[in-house]
Amino acid sequence: MADQDTTIRLIRVDDAEVLAAHRARDRRAYAAWEPAQPDDFYTAAGQRRRIETLLGEHDRGERWPAVVLAGDEVAGQVTVSTILRGPFRKGFLGYWVASAFTGRGHATRAVGLILTVMAEELGLRRAEAHTRMDNLASQRVLRANGFHPWGIAHSHIYLDGAWHDEVFWERLLDEAPPS
């Protein structure tokens, strides 16, 4: 079934145009969930510059920036950032799926796929994420992937003109000692 066909791959500079188009289309609709960005974030040129920065961070082992593919179409992004090694071996998860592709399980499957990358490719043992208290769709995505809420950070993120509380989520990937 086409809707089941979700994959992820490392972001490429030539993804810029489609990512900019998604971001521009959903700018208002996602303002409650995504931080405000400068105007050039919504242009292909701005996305190209940003992707080059993300790939530099990937080369330094700090980030794993992926796109979500629905079939062969770029539908969103899923990213492991703030990768810490040594005694922590953990990463922070962020994701979005363009509104044209939501409600078909793509985010849930993409998060499952990147958890496998975190465990098997990056050797991490812990994934973390934050959601706004009222971002129920995102919370469903995390719960479906075995995340548990472990606390609330008050007045934690500034979105759409106000500070908001957030739920902190965790998912353990393995219990092996640091290598």
The minimum distance between CB 42 and ligand COA, in angstroms, equals 15
Give, in degrees to the nearest 5, the angle at Cα 30 between 48 and 140: 110
167: number of Cβ within 10 Å: 21
Kindly state whether residue 147 participates in binding ligand COA, applying the rule CB under 6 A.
no
For residue 92, the cross-strand partners are 81, 128
Structure tokens at 136: 């129920």
For 8, 10, 55, 83, 121, the CA distances from 62, given in Å and listed in that order, are 18, 14, 10, 5, 14
CB 39, min distance to ligand COA, A:
19
Could you give the 3-state DSSP secondary structure of residue 15?
helix
Q: Shortest gap between Cβ of 87 and ligand COA (angstroms)?
A: 27
Contact flag: residue 137 with ligand COA (CB under 6 A): yes
Determine if 30 is a binding residue for ligand COA (CB under 6 A): yes
Contact status: 135 vs ligand COA (CB under 6 A): yes
141 scored as a contact of ligand COA (CB under 6 A):
yes
Scanning residues 159 to 178, which ones bind ligand COA (CB under 6 A)? none
* The one among 25, 27, 49, 104 contacting ligand COA by CB under 6 A: 104
CA atoms within 13 A on the CB side of 48: 5
- Would you state the structure tokens that stand for residue 134, as one six-digit string? 């009222």
Closest of 164, 11, 165, 174 to residue 96, by C-alpha: 11
In the complex, least distance from residue 136 CB atom to ligand COA, rounded to whole angstroms: 3
Site for ligand COA in 38-97 (CB under 6 A): 95-97
- Chain positions contacting ligand COA, by CB under 6 A: 30, 33-34, 95-97, 102-108, 131, 135-138, 140-141
